[in-house]
Copies of this chain bind each other. A is one copy, B any other.
Amino acid sequence: MRKIRMGMVGGGQGAFIGGVHRMAAALDGQIELVCGAFSSNAKRSKASGKELYLPSNRVYKNYEEMIKKEKALPEGERMDFVSIVTPNHVHYGPAKMALENGFHVVCDKPLCFDMREAKTLQKLVKKTGLIFALTHNYTGYPMVKQAKEMIKKGKLGKIRKIVVEYPQGWLSTHLEATDQKQAAWRTDPKRSGAAGSMGDIGTHAENLAEYITGLQITELCADLSIFVKGRLLDDDGNVLLRFDNGAKGVLHASQISAGEENDLNIRIYGEKGGLQWRQMEPNTLVVKWLDKPMEVLRTGVGNLYSAAQEATRIPAGHPEGYLEAFANIYKNVAHCIQARIAGKKPKAVYTDYPTVDDGVRGMQFVKKVVESSKKGARWVKI
């Protein structure tokens, strides 16, 4: 067996998420970065490639060139998959082209710009049979996987209520008016899509709730707001939810919750008990019961489900964080690609990563919250 070879689209100097993807891919020693088109600016792409110690002939001026030239390389050398870490409006192009040319894809979320693009990609993945992973990275945390298993096994009984929150405060001011790159594209309808905070982080909340509970949102009522003067997309949204099993829920996501860092968290209540998980203290899962003391599950302690154990690298009390959870997606993708190369089925535990279907679901969520809000926060079916 050998390391899996990654080509990257986007993630040049100054980008935040590109570095995250590279660290996540590198962590477990299963993947090596072999090429990239790091910027729409060819010069900046070259400079970025050099900083990453890539040979200059594997640093391309754009993704089209990269995919074309890599495809022409011999099997023993060319990249195995493309990692797409560009702003939302530049997901579709490289994803489509990669799939059409036989490359697996890891793509940052949200999947793409709109539902039309999303559906096309979904079909293409189905048709090609290629691996397509979407980095809804928060589902990579061990205790999220533990929570999912607990609910699947009925430990909490039938689920009744779900509260999922994603407050951030970093867009409390008109940051996009400065030259802050992260703020600029996320608040620009041409690059971000129909929604601002709802697309950027609301989709993570939606994905987390559906991933853990195994339920689907069937109706929602969304009240989106723009609080910062001059902003073009929602920077806050409050959403009521109804799920397919009759459960009710609340989802709110915000980038003007002043002083909040990145406090994605979820509480889920069933007939027999409830659980709580917070991304900012991710190694802890609090489980509350009707008639006995609260339990605090911790990564590495006691008898967790194998899904959680497989997603943990080091012993209890040695905190793993965001990059490790992110790396769990890359690790699973690498194992799945290795299995393909070896002509084998991957271990079931490695197939647990978000897919193009989760991406379509997210795009639908974005569409529906925007639609509901535009109607004056009326209920819409999803």
Least CB distance from A142 to B in Å reads 12
Q: B-facing mask of A157-168, CB < 8 A → 1, else 0?
A: 000110101011
A272 to B173 CA separation, bound complex (whole angstroms): 9
Q: Which of A12-40 contact B (CB under 8 A)?
A: 16, 19-20, 22-23, 26-29, 33
**How many copies of this kind of chain does the complex include?**
4
Q: B-facing mask of A276-317, CB < 8 A → 1, else 0?
A: 000111110001111111111110111100000000011111
Partner of A258, one of B167, B252, B290: B290
Task: Give the interface segment out of A100-108, A209-217, A321-329.
Answer: A321-329
A156 at interface (Cβ–Cβ under 8 A)?
A: yes
Q: Which of A346-382 contact B (CB under 8 A)?
A: 376-379
* Shortest Cβ distance from A297 into B: residue: B293
Partner of A27, one of B16, B282, B323: B323
Least CB distance from A43 to B in Å reads 19
Q: Are A289 and B258 in contact (CB under 8 A)?
A: yes
A274 at interface (Cβ–Cβ under 8 A)?
A: yes
| Contacting residues, chain B, for A314 (C-beta < 8 A) | 16, 19-20, 322-323
A58 at interface (Cβ–Cβ under 8 A)?
A: no
Least CB distance from A220 to B in Å reads 11
Least CB distance from A200 to B in Å reads 13
Interface of A is mostly: loop
A185 at interface (Cβ–Cβ under 8 A)?
A: no
A64 at interface (Cβ–Cβ under 8 A)?
A: no
| 11 residue pairs from A and B, CB less than 8 Å apart | A29-B33, A167-B269, A221-B223, A254-B269, A256-B269, A258-B290, A259-B288, A262-B316, A294-B295, A321-B324, A323-B323
Least CB distance from A75 to B in Å reads 17
* Shortest Cβ distance from A53 into B: residue: B3
A221 to B316 CA separation, bound complex (whole angstroms): 30
| Contacting residues, chain B, for A19 (C-beta < 8 A) | 313-314
Which residues of A approach B to under 8 Å, CB–CB? 1-3, 16, 19-20, 22-23, 26-29, 33, 52-53, 156, 160-161, 163, 165, 167-170, 172-173, 221, 223, 225, 227, 236, 238, 240, 242, 248-250, 252, 254, 256-263, 267, 269-274, 279-283, 287-298, 300-303, 313-324, 376-379
| Contacting residues, chain B, for A33 (C-beta < 8 A) | 29
| Contacting residues, chain B, for A295 (C-beta < 8 A) | 293-296
A209 to B221 CA separation, bound complex (whole angstroms): 22
| Contacting residues, chain B, for A26 (C-beta < 8 A) | 26-29
Instruction: Pick the most buried of A259, A280, A319: most chain B CB atoms within 10 A of its CB.
Output: A259
A236 to B293 CA separation, bound complex (whole angstroms): 23
A261 to B313 CA separation, bound complex (whole angstroms): 15
Partner of A315, one of B16, B221, B236: B16
Instruction: Pick the most buried of A256, A258, A270, A297: most chain B CB atoms within 10 A of its CB.
Output: A258
Interchain residue pairs A-B with the least CB separation, the first 7: A259-B288, A262-B317, A261-B317, A319-B321, A318-B322, A321-B321, A261-B316
A294 to B297 CA separation, bound complex (whole angstroms): 7
Partner of A252, one of B2, B250, B320: B250
| Contacting residues, chain B, for A302 (C-beta < 8 A) | 289, 291-293
| Contacting residues, chain B, for A322 (C-beta < 8 A) | 314, 318-320
